[in-house]
Structure 1
Amino acid sequence: MWQQIIVAVIVLVALMHFSAKYLPLAWRQRIVYTLGKRGFNEARLAKLFKTNGGGGCGDGGGCSNCGPSSCDTPTDATTHKRVIKLHVQR
């Protein structure tokens, strides 16, 4: 009995880690929204799933809902992009 409970907790923690790290942003936002409607703390869920809880430029909706000055400044996500150079041999 206890072994099954412990295994279930470990599987749930692994599922939460996978969801927070590898799911697309739109899916993570949808999970936060759905669980928030069910009574969970939306701010905590947004922090856990690494999404913006309040909207704005970083919510994936583009810059349509924020001012031009905030969209012109680079964020952490845009300054840490990596480039992989491919060398094609023919």
Structure 2
Amino acid sequence: MIQNAIVALIVGLAALYVMRTYSPLTWRTKLVYFFTARGVSQAQMARLLGTGASCGSGCGSGNDGCKACAKPESNANPNVIRIVRR
């Protein structure tokens, strides 16, 4: 009996992972609203389904956690000789 419960838990987590990874963002957002209407915390569901604010929502909104949108640091080494083929 306990083995069936463990297998059901593993299959459920695998299904959640596949849904989070491969389903379109609009479907995941609708799922968040569906579960929020039924009493689940919206922040929890958004984090669980990966629909939170990201760099696509704009870094100008003051999102400090958005590292990918920040200006890249210049790692250019001035001592590197570049060879350009003519």
TM-score, normalising length from structure 2?
0.60
Give the distance between the partners of 1:39 and 1:15, measured in 2 at CA: 22
How much does 1:22 deviate?
0.6
C-alpha distance in structure 1 between counterparts of 2:51 and 2:45, whole Å? 8
Determine the structure 2 residue equivalent to 1:15: 15
Give the secondary structure class of the aligned counterpart of 1:32. Answer: helix
Post-superposition Cα deviations, 1:20-71, rounded to whole Å, max 9, x if no partner, equal 1110000000111101111111101101111137xxx73xxxxxxxxxxx49
Return structure 1 stretches of 4+ with deviation > 3 angstroms: none
- 3-state SS in 2 of match to 1:51: coil
The runs of 5 or more residues in structure 1 that have no matched partner are 59-69, 78-90
Q: Which runs of 5+ in 2 are unaligned?
A: 70-86
Normalising to structure 1: TM-score of the pair?
0.58
- Give the counterpart letter for 2:14 in structure 1: A
C-alpha RMSD of matched pairs (Å): 2.6
CA-CA distance at 1:8 after TM superposition: 0.6
In our comparison, the structure showing a higher alpha carbon Rg is: 2
Q: Percent identity?
A: 35
Alpha-carbon separation, structure 2, partners of 1:38 and 1:17: 22
